[in-house]
Amino acid sequence: MNLVRTAMLLAFMTALFMAIGFLIGGTGGMLIALAIAAAMNLFSYWNADKMVLRMHHAKEVDERSAPEFYGIVRQLAERADLPMPKVYLIKNDQPNAFATGRNPENAAVAATTGLLHRLTHEEVAGVMAHELAHVKHRDTLTMTITATLAGAISMLGNFAFFFRGGRNNPLGLIGMLAAMILAPLAAAVVQMAVSRTREYAADRGGAEICGHPMWLASALAKIAGSAPRIVNEDAERNPATAHMFIINPLSGQRMDGLFSTHPATENRIAALRQMEAEFSGQGDDVNMPGPDPQEHQPETHGGPWGRNGGKREPKGPWS
C-alpha cells in the first residue's frame, strides 16, 4: 500500500510540474517543462549521492579506520542480502544518519560522529538497519526524484513571475498566481508526504533486518531527544536534504502534519512496539528484550558504544 501511495504521489507531482508549464506557456510551455524535468532527473540520477555527501562533508571509512561501525554495516547488509554499501562518517555532534545512492549496487550510508558516541552498539545497528531498508526499498532514488521535481516546480514558479503568464497562458493572472504560489506549496506537501510514507516502511524493514524492533525504537527516542538541542550547520545550509535523515536535522518540525518531513517520533516508536509484540507472538528467538525507549538513559561519552557501566547487552548477529 505504501508503494502504491508513493507512486501516486510521484505521478501527481509530475502532472503538477507539467501543469505549471502549461499555465506559463500553454502546450509549448508544458513540453519545455517536461524536457527540463527529464534533464534534471537524469543529472540527479547519476550525481545526487555525491552532491549530498559533499554537502555534509562526509568522509568515507573502511574496516581499518572504523572497524566496529563498518562491521555493523557489513553484517547487516549480509542479513538484508544487499551489496556492501560505501560507508561514510560525518563529523557532527548531532546524532543522525542517512542513506543515498541510485540503487543498491551504488548505495552509501552515512552516520554522524554524534550518533556513534551517544548510542549503544545495538541502537547504532537499529539505525543502520533502517538506512539499509531505505536502500533495499530503493527509497534513495525515490527521494532524489521527488526533491528534484519539487525544486524544479519552485524554479518554474519563479519563472512565472518574470513571464507574468505570457500570451499563451490560458488562465492569465489566475494561472500566474497559481504557478507562483500554490504549485510550489503543493509540491512541498507532496515531497513531505512521500518522505513520511517511506520512513514508516523503512522503520519496519530495518526492524526486520536487525531482528529487534526495540533497538531502533530506543535509538529514535535518543536521537529525537538530542537532535533539537544540537545545531547541524550543514543541514541548515541545505534544508532540501532534511528528508533524507532518520530524524529531521532542522528545528521547528515536531508535528506529524502536512508540513513535517518526518512522522512524529512517538508514532514511529508506537509502530515499532506493535511490531515487537508481533515478533513475540511468533515465538521467534529474535525477540530479545532491548532498551526501553521511554527510559531516560544516561548518554555514554566514553567513545562509541560504551557498555553502560559494564552491564551485559543483548546478543546480536554481530556479537
User: Per-residue pLDDT tens for 256-269?
Assistant: 444 456 778 888 99
At residue 71, φ and ψ (nearest 5 deg) are -65, -40
Q: Please state the rounded mean pLDDT for residues 95-103.
A: 93
Q: Which residue has the cell 527540463?
A: 36
Residues 121-173 have pLDDT tens digits of 999 999 999 999 999 998 887 777 776 777 677 776 666 666 554 555 555 56
| 3-class SS of residue 163 | helix
At residue 258, φ and ψ (nearest 5 deg) are -60, -35
Distances (CA, A) of 117 to 293, 301, 302: 17, 6, 8
Helix (H) or strand (E) holding 133: helix 121-136
Q: Provide CB contacts within 8 A for 213, sequence distance 6+.
A: 207, 272, 273, 275, 276, 279, 290
- What is the rounded distance in angstroms from the CA atom of residue 61 to the CA atom of residue 78? 18
**Residue 122 bears catalytic tag:** no
Binned at pLDDT 50, 70 and 90, residue 315 comes out as very low
What residue type is 40 in one-letter code? M
Task: Report the pLDDT value the prediction gives residue 107, as an integer from 0 to 100.
Answer: 95
C-alpha cell at 243: 528528508
Task: Report the pLDDT value the prediction gives residue 45, as an integer from 0 to 100.
Answer: 78
Residues 219-253 have pLDDT tens digits of 999 999 998 889 899 988 887 788 889 998 986 54
Q: Is the dihedral of CA 199, 200, 206, 209 positive or negative?
A: negative
Task: Report the pLDDT value the prediction gives residue 309, as an integer from 0 to 100.
Answer: 38
At residue 288, φ and ψ (nearest 5 deg) are -115, 135
Binned at pLDDT 50, 70 and 90, residue 104 comes out as very high
Q: Provide CB contacts within 8 A for 200, sequence distance 6+.
A: 2, 263, 268, 271
Domain range summary for the chain, segments of one domain joined by +:
2-297
Q: Please state the rounded mean pLDDT for residues 257-285.
A: 74
At residue 99, φ and ψ (nearest 5 deg) are -125, 155
Q: Is 130 annotated as a binding residue?
A: yes
Catalytic residue among 123, 131, 208, 276: 131
Q: What Rg do the C-alpha atoms of the chain give, in angstroms? A: 21
